[in-house]
Structure 1
Amino acid sequence: MEILLRAKNWQIFIILLVGMALSNTTLEGDPTTSMIINLIGILIYFIYPFVIGYFLQDFLPRKVEVNNTFFQINFFVWIGGYLTLMILSDGQGMTLTGLAALPFFYVFFAFLYYQAFPAKVLKSVEMKKEVSLGDYFSDFILILFLPLGIWVLQPRINKVVEKEKDVVQA
């Protein structure tokens, strides 16, 4: 997966478009296969922020610590919540009210945290210090609006990876 950190922005853009296309594919008369293709597309699309958040941590300075476990838990919570919702609603979506909506508020928070964490890690690597929300908010917005944000984010990620590779070789 670390290969995604070294990929060019247009390569990641194509991968994200494939994920988007698969997540919006419907096969008439075969809802189970449609749901499986949709879920594969969702996983392809949302694996990129996970790769950034997980593998860029290797480039953090020793003094900077981030909560990787909480990030991973939130990834599985929101993916699990999304899959549960898709399975229960046969891919049509549903409206939750009352107490049934409470768990999905956390799923929504998990989704937002999952999108913000890679932005925090990237900015922390670039600034070589612990960053606050104000420092990485613009990167968070770029990740939230993938695949458009990839044109700004991926060159910065490539630069970080190349710089660290040069430091290791020296």
Structure 2
Amino acid sequence: MTDKFLKAKHWQLFLLTFAIPMVFQFIMIGTMISNIGSETNSDPSSIFNYLQLFTLVMIIFMSIYFGWFWSVAVGLQKKVPENVKMKVRKFKIFFFIPMFYMLLIMLLMSISMNGLMENGEEPSGILIAGLAGVIVPLHLFSMFCIFYSLYFVAKTFKTVELQREVKFSDFAGEFFMIWFYPIGIWIVQPKINEMIE
């Protein structure tokens, strides 16, 4: 699977990770708004059906997006010069933390939404404060892990391109291109294709 991501064309990745999910979200939001505004469907629980569909789209999007990260960071390691040591194990740990966090959030949201729909009661303030006390630090750490993954992917890419040890100033441009993926993929992926060939 790693080779498929590395050999994929930039327009294919753009379609899979940005264009198709964006069009799908526009259609879904438009349908949701028109259904909520109609007099025939006044059931507020229909919003939760759309949220479940949105969650599925996000899982697919994130799988492709993070799959590309993994492919570049791990798949290009065989092209890294032998005298350059990269912390691949640290990357792998930080790579999986946001995934587990996102799954945990989706699970918690699903449980709480189902509980709200069945009970019809408002959640207690203590429960909300407790969840916020757990979720906020986890969310911040997850964001740090994602930024470290961006950093490592950009560093790996530039190390392979220059065939030497690199500093952040060498790959800062690639870091921001990968961060702003819908624009950067048009520049970074063709270079990755050349590296693989």
Normalised to the residue count of structure 2, the TM-score between the two structures is 0.70
Q: Which amino acid aligns with 2:93?
A: I
Q: Does 1:5 align with 2:6?
A: yes
Q: Deviations over 1:70-125 (max 9, x none)?
A: 111111101111222233234xxx99755653233221110101111111001001
| Aligned counterpart, 2:191 | 156
| Aligned counterpart, 1:70 | 90
From 178, 181, 186, the equivalent of 1:146 is 181
Q: Distance in 2 between matches of 1:39 and 1:23?
A: 14
- Change in Cα spacing, 1:161 to 1:32, as seen in structure 2 (3 Å) is same
- Alpha carbons 2:21, 2:57 under 8 Å: kept: no
Q: Does 1:88 align with 2:108?
A: yes
Structure 1, unaligned stretches of length 5 or more? 163-170
Q: Which structure features the higher share of helix residues?
A: 2
- Alpha carbons 2:81, 2:164 under 8 Å: kept: yes
Aligned-pair identity (%): 30
Structure 2, unaligned stretches of length 5 or more? 33-45, 111-127
Q: Which amino acid aligns with 2:71?
A: V
- Change in Cα spacing, 1:106 to 1:21, as seen in structure 2 (3 Å) is same
- Change in Cα spacing, 1:83 to 1:23, as seen in structure 2 (3 Å) is farther
The structure showing larger relative contact order (alpha-carbon pairs under 8 Å, at least 6 residues apart) is 2
Query: Aligned-residue CA RMSD in angstroms?
Result: 2.9
Q: Which moved more, 1:7-16 or 1:151-160?
A: 7-16
By how many angstroms is 1:155 displaced? 1.4
- Change in Cα spacing, 1:155 to 1:46, as seen in structure 2 (3 Å) is same
How do 1:1-170 and structure 2 match up within 5 A? 1=1, 2-17=3-18, 20-21=21-22, 24=25, 29=46, 30=49, 31-90=51-110, 101-162=136-197
- Change in Cα spacing, 1:19 to 1:74, as seen in structure 2 (3 Å) is farther
- Change in Cα spacing, 1:58 to 1:20, as seen in structure 2 (3 Å) is farther
Q: Distance in 1 between matches of 2:85 and 2:133?
A: 38
Q: Which moved more, 1:126-135 or 1:96-105?
A: 96-105
Matched positions, count: 161
